[in-house]
Structure 1
């Protein structure tokens, strides 16, 4: 039986790293959730406690992006509304479809996205952004939230990363603004899931509170780097997250 101190020693540093990654490019759950499981936390408690720490960490990152002026708030809130609807739909699809079909698709899509980012040096930079009419922007934001919300409810890993890519490529945001808007959408969907976990007693606050402190630190530093370094810093982290997600999918098949 692992002692409580050892559990925290395993979880907290990895949650810090996850928070840093999540604030920059999304996908921190690919690091944080395995940390809880590796430390021996039961799977449902791991999911709930992970959501608790993530919510607080994402809240910090959202506040920092908002304070810096790198969030388009109305499109972000509209997208968050779409994500809440989509997440509910995705959760229902879990009961009807095998997630392996989505995994097969991602095994093809993820390498293509990574190659595109590697060879498109101007992607997400201020010199390569486009202005989208405001009404169209609101519609696109809702659709992005809805579709990626379905993905989040159905499968989940890398949701924040896909939001950043969608806001950049479809809405014409630079990567800093796309990352900021993704935080608001992620925060909304995480809060909705967290309420369910808390009501069902699936959150360990003894683990979650220390983990949340490290999540806040990771998110704060990650947001600082993203805001100050811009797309040249964000893009490599996105490629890292895509690589981790690809490896996770391959391992799941083995």
Structure 2
């Protein structure tokens, strides 16, 4: 079934893509904006929206990852194993997406997000500077474990993946918010790629629509990454708290609606 796209719908999708790219580049969570916008397209199926969202998202995360790499220089000995396991986890999560009901996960995610928000607000110095808790192979193994779990979550559901990556890198491994965001972009690129490896053979990606939204996402990602680098970890922390709050409101609304 062909999609019925008018000028106003395309403009809405471009705006949503740019905003999502900016949010993703700073702290993750751009799917809060982009996926709901895609679901509003007449004639699109949920699977097509999810797959097309991954295409647009990977365009944005690629440019923001490169921007962060040039300006922040994230530790590739952390990013490498974390991205590799996240890629594998995302493929597995996408394969399970149709067999596990989302209602089992939403309340759990909501509780975790509330705890994350409370913890971040209660500790004003959290993520201000990097203070790594492990070194060597121990650090890399823990990073790889985080990548596997969050990668599987991204393939399975997805909302707030970048946000979960950032808070894990800050609270578990001990990174400051800015280098955590830089690392998260590399890992998030891998999770989007893993999901696409599953979705593309099934013909779920709407390439024309995805490239339009993805171009806007790419522009937003470039602007967001440069802004985050210029303003530092304090700015990223503020955006992080706002995005987590928005995730709580959205998922809380879903839980209430389902009662």
Cα contact 1:70–1:176 (8 A) shared by 2? no
Q: Does 1:115 align with 2:96?
A: no
Name the SS of the counterpart of 1:187 in structure 2: helix
In the alignment, the residues of structure 2 paired with residue 3 and residue 97 of structure 1 have an alpha-carbon distance, to the nearest angstrom, of 32
Name the SS of the counterpart of 1:215 in structure 2: helix
Calculate the TM-score normalised by the size of structure 2: 0.89
Greater displacement, 18-27 / 77-86: 77-86
**Mind listing any 5+ residue stretches in structure 1 that lack a counterpart?**
none
Aligned to 2:68: 65
CA deviations 1:169-214 (Å, max 9, x no partner) are 1222111111111111110111122233332222223222222221
In the alignment, the residues of structure 2 paired with residue 95 and residue 240 of structure 1 have an alpha-carbon distance, to the nearest angstrom, of 31
Q: Does 1:8 align with 2:14?
A: no
Q: How many residues align?
A: 253
In the alignment, the residues of structure 1 paired with residue 93 and residue 63 of structure 2 have an alpha-carbon distance, to the nearest angstrom, of 27
State the Cα distance separating 1:12 from its structure 2 match: 0.3
State the Cα distance separating 1:2 from its structure 2 match: 4.9
CA deviations 1:90-124 (Å, max 9, x no partner) are 34555665433322222322122112212211111
Name the SS of the counterpart of 2:173 in structure 1: coil
Pair 4,199 (structure 1): closer, same or farther in 2 beyond 3 Å: farther
CA deviations 1:18-68 (Å, max 9, x no partner) are 100000111101110111112325023222222111111110000001111
Aligned to 1:241: 243
CA deviations 1:123-144 (Å, max 9, x no partner) are 1112x62353121111111011
**Mind listing any 5+ residue stretches in structure 2 that lack a counterpart?**
none
Cα contact 1:32–1:50 (8 A) shared by 2? yes
Cα contact 1:80–1:184 (8 A) shared by 2? yes
Cα contact 1:10–1:39 (8 A) shared by 2? no
Pair 3,238 (structure 1): closer, same or farther in 2 beyond 3 Å: same
Calculate the TM-score normalised by the size of structure 1: 0.91
